[in-house]
Homo-oligomer: A and B are copies of this chain.
Amino acid sequence: MNGVQHWGEGVRLLVEIAATAAFALSGVMDAARKRLDAVGVCVVGFLAAFGGGTLRDLLLDQRPFFWVRHVDMLWGVLGLCVLAMLLLRHRHFELTEKAIQWPDALGLGLFAAAGTHEALAAGLPGIVAVLMGVITGVFGGVLRDVVCNEIPTAFSDHRPYAVCAFAGGWVYVALWHSAAPGWAALLGCVLITAGLRALALWRNWRLPAWQA
């Protein structure tokens, strides 16, 4: 049993690192497209990677931030930004974006679960917890786009992204209230969120648009 738990922790850590790297890379490429300088590339990478969780912790009034508890994550993202600037070229961007869709989808689920969990543990109602999950998963990308002076992709590309985290968050809330073990709630939320996102990408689902 202990072995399984260790194994589960290891997978979780792996997904978290891959997802953080995917988020940071999305920021780095956005910054490169906007011709930011080296400082801008790093800042936007940090915002994309850590912005959502930081905003959630600000709203929930929780300290220390996870990037204060895990300073190696800061160094890792900094290293990733520098490496990307040295190695990644514009012609690699399309392929990179394809490749990071999968860790990004898993990360969306993981971050949504983490955000929902923190809020539920603080005694907040279900709808607030789900919103905190969505904020954790989505607002890193929103801050990235705001600093790059663009309308956030998550709000304008008509592809389901935040709604997947919204659905996954409710799964977490339901399992939490039915006293399911923590790993089951986590797994359920990640599977639903990432599964919906994968389905949406695969079947090319579109969000309803405003009827003019």
Interface residues of A (CB under 8 A from B): 31-32, 34-41, 43-44, 54, 58-59, 61, 63-65, 67-68, 71, 74-75, 85, 89-90, 124-125, 127-128, 131, 142, 146-152, 154-159, 161-163, 207-212
Q: Verify B162–A89 contact, CB threshold 8 A.
A: no
Q: Verify B147–A149 contact, CB threshold 8 A.
A: no
Given contacts A68-B124, A149-B149, is CB(A35)–CB(B210) below 8 Å? yes
Bound-state Cα–Cα, A162 to B65, Å:
22
Q: Which residues in B have their C-beta under 8 angstroms from that of A61?
A: 61, 63
Chain B proximity of A25: nearest CB distance (Å): 14
Q: Verify B209–A39 contact, CB threshold 8 A.
A: no
Bound-state Cα–Cα, A30 to B60, Å:
28
**A210 contact from B41, B59, B157, Cβ within 8 A:** B41
Chain B proximity of A59: nearest CB distance (Å): 7
Task: Pick 30 A–B contacts, CB within 8 A, sort by A.
Answer: A31-B155, A32-B210, A35-B156, A35-B209, A35-B210, A36-B155, A36-B156, A36-B210, A37-B155, A37-B156, A37-B159, A37-B207, A38-B163, A38-B208, A38-B209, A39-B154, A39-B161, A39-B162, A40-B152, A40-B154, A40-B155, A44-B155, A58-B58, A59-B65, A74-B127, A74-B131, A85-B208, A89-B211, A89-B212, A148-B151
